[in-house]
Amino acid sequence: MISTLEKIIFLKGVELFSQLSGEKLAQVSQIAKEVEFDRGKKIFSEGDAGNSLFLIVRGSVDVVKGDRRLVTLGEKECFGEMAILDSEPRSATIVASADVVCLELSREDFYELMADEHEIPQGIIKVLVRRLRNVKT
């Protein structure tokens, strides 16, 4: 179990939340739910409804589109950010490539955070732009 203090320290190191005050990070830590997935577990599938964002605390996940692995994401990276923003189905399948511990934020909680903190939408934009730039064609 991750303590509140450990969550705050972790969140400060995540690009999405790095500009938030300690007080705001404490709020995020209170609404972030700890979830664990065993290696090989499918976390969600392409086409699933998306209603949460995941932040990787430990371990790694593979992002798979069709039968092709696009990228492996590791500690302090996020996934699920696209579906949480636009309510469209998940754009890829996520599989735990190692035992993984994540913090999960629901869409409702995430929207409340974005309404109060302009740094969070800016962080999401940075993450999405970086991913677009790194897409291999």
Q: Where would I find the H helices in 1-137?
A: 4-12, 22-31, 81-86, 107-116, 119-133
3-state secondary structure of 45: coil
Q: What distance in Å separates the CA atoms of residue 53 and residue 73, rounded to the nearest whole number?
A: 14
pLDDT for the residue numbered 135: 66
CATH class of 4-133: mainly beta
Going by C-alpha positions, the residue among 69, 98, 104, 57 that lies closest to residue 83 is: 104
Low-confidence residues in the chain, pLDDT < 70: 117-119, 131, 135-137
pLDDT for the residue numbered 39: 98
- Cβ neighbours of 114 (radius 10 Å): 16
Q: What distance in Å separates the CA atoms of residue 89 and residue 57, rounded to the nearest whole number?
A: 24
pTM of the model: 0.85
pLDDT for the residue numbered 54: 96
pLDDT for the residue numbered 136: 58
pLDDT for the residue numbered 40: 98
pLDDT for the residue numbered 79: 93
pLDDT for the residue numbered 15: 82
pLDDT for the residue numbered 95: 98
Exposure string over 35-52, b if 16+ CB within 10 A, otherwise e: eebeeeeebbeeeeebeb
3-state secondary structure of 37: strand
pLDDT for the residue numbered 22: 87
Angle value at C-alpha 84, between 101 and 88, nearest 5 degrees: 125
Look at the chain and count its residues.
137
pLDDT for the residue numbered 59: 98
pLDDT for the residue numbered 56: 97
pLDDT for the residue numbered 9: 93
